[in-house]
């Protein structure tokens, strides 16, 4: 559980900074996909990539598609 918490904190810190730039977001997604493949994580668990416009694209037709045109609000 401690390793999980440490990894989640680190992932959050990195994602918080990477999301500010398209190049950083794209690089992070590519690196995470490579790491996932190396660990044997099935591709369906890594279904998204960042496109050139900074939007998120689905790599799996079975999953809902996310675009920059929608605002997702908190249920609160």
Q: What SS3 class is residue 32?
A: helix
Dihedral class, residue 53 (left if φ above 0, else alpha if ψ from -120 to 50, else beta): alpha
Average pLDDT, the chain: 76
Kindly give the interhelix angle for 2-18 and 22-39, rounded to the nearest 10 degrees: 150
* Domain ranges for the chain: 2-58
- For 12-49, what is each residue's pLDDT tens digit? 999 999 888 888 888 888 898 889 889 988 766 455 66
């Amino acid at each position: 559980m401690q390793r999980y918490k440490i990894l989640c904190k680190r992932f959050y810190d990195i994602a918080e900074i990477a999301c500010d730039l398209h190049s950083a977001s794209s690089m992070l997604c590519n690196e995470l996909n490579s790491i996932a493949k190396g660990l044997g994580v099935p591709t369906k668990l890594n279904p998204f990539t960042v496109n050139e416009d900074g939007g998120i694209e689905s790599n799996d037709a079975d999953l809902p598609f996310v675009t920059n045109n929608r605002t997702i609000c908190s249920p609160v």
